[in-house]
Amino acid sequence: MAAGGGGERPPGPDPAVLEPYVQTRIFKIIVIGDSNVGKTCLTFRFCGGTFPGKTEATIGVDFREKTVEIEGERIKVQVWDTAGQERFRKSMVEHYYRNVHAVVFVYDVTKMSSFTNLKTWVEECNGHAVPPLVPRVLVGNKCDLKDLIQVPSSLALKFADAHNMLLFETSAKDPQESQNVDAIFMCLVCRLKAQRSLPCRDTEGWPAQPRPHARRPDQPGGKSSCPC
Ligand SMILES: Nc1nc2c(ncn2[C@@H]2O[C@H](COP(=O)(O)OP(=O)(O)OP(=O)(O)O)[C@@H](O)[C@H]2O)c(=O)[nH]1
Ligand SMILES: [Mg+2]
């Protein structure tokens, strides 16, 4: 008869032996928006930790990956860096949205047209039947170009509110903003993790969250508790 106490291991295989077989969850996050807003640079910054010296327009999609650890769970973040140019994306659009877990909409804070075009990107996303539970965030990139800013934060916040998104304003280029770039993705992963560990899903959408718009010193990427 098995004894209950005394620090004995319960019957069954040794957890240490099973550890290599524990599945790592994969979250697919797509990054969309006009060409030249900095989608490739943002994903590069998050997955590789640097700002790429030179980028070409993305053709189709580039995949980047980063494994993060949140509250003891290792999660693989699969980032889909999509093409902004219509001619480089049209054959791929169905693939972008298939089984997507979260969507990052990017505009360039120095280019008003990239912001006004967001409604077209949202329409495309809605047109692909992305479920309302799939979290979406709005990212204003190139904030390092302070003298050239065309899109006021207040306007961006209004858009984010109207579309139930969180807003991040950041720069893929400025190394001091790298934690803020990490926070975009970590925030989504935390939400997905919380959503997917609930016994039953919250069909009303996400509970109210503090806005990450106010830039906060987040914990370093990789190992973190929720940055939201
Ligand atoms: N100043 C500044 N420039 C940036 C920033 N992010 C990207 N850029 C520049 O913006 C240009 C376009 O960046 P990409 O990341 O290639 O843009 P993209 O959105 O991936 O474009 P497509 O692949 O065509 O859809 C490049 O010259 C980058 O160096 C930023 O945060 N600040
Ligand atoms: Mg690109």
pLDDT tens per residue, range 9-22 = 667 667 666 665 66
| Cβ neighbours around 98 below 10 Å, total | 11
What integer is the mean pLDDT of 22-30?
A: 90
CB-based neighbours (< 5 A) of ligand 2, an ion: 39-40, 58
* Strand 25-32, strand 61-70: pairing: unpaired
Tokens found for residue 85: 């140019």
pLDDT band at 195 (very low <50, low <70, confident <90, very high): confident
Give distance in angstroms: CA of 39 to centre of ligand 1.
6
CB 78 within 8 A of CB 102: no
Q: Report the distance separating Cα 221 and Cα 182, nearest Å.
A: 6
pLDDT computed for residue 10 by the predictor: 65
Rounded CA separation 202/179 (Å) = 29
Q: What is the pLDDT at residue 102? A: 98
pLDDT (0 to 100) of residue 126: 96
The alpha-helical segments, DSSP class H, found in 70-177 are 86-89, 93-97, 112-116, 118-127, 153-162
**pLDDT at res. 208:** 34
pLDDT on residue 100: 97
How many other CB atoms are found less than 10 A from the CB of residue 154?
A: 7
Residue 223 pLDDT > 50: no
pTM over 0.90: no
Residue 23 has pLDDT above 70, yes or no: yes
CA distances from 47 to 163, 179, 214, 223 (A): 27, 12, 23, 14
pLDDT of 16 reads 65
In short, whether 61's Cβ falls inside 6 Å of ligand 1 is no
User: pLDDT at residue 196 above 90?
Assistant: no
How far apart are the C-alpha atoms of 143 and 120, rounded to whole Å?
23
Residue 73's pLDDT is 92
Convert the pLDDT of each residue in 75-129 to its tens digit.
Answer: 999 999 999 999 999 999 999 999 999 999 999 999 999 999 999 999 999 999 9
Pocket probe mutation, ligand 1, options 31, 34, 36, max atoms within 8 Å of Cβ: 36
3-state helix, strand, coil in the chain (%, to 5): 35, 20, 45
pLDDT value at 164 more than 50: yes
What b-and-e string marks burial along 35-69, b requiring 16 or more CB atoms within 10 Å of the CB? eebbbbbbbbbbbeeebeeeeeebeebbebebebe
CA of 223 to the centre of ligand 2 (A): 27
CA of 12 to the centre of ligand 2 (A): 49
Round to the nearest angstrom and report the end-to-end CA distance of the chain.
48
Residue 224 predicted with pLDDT over 50: no
Vertex 174, ends 117 and 28: CA angle to 5°?
55
> 122 in helix, strand or coil?
helix
pLDDT tens digit string along 55-82? 999 999 999 999 999 989 999 999 999 9
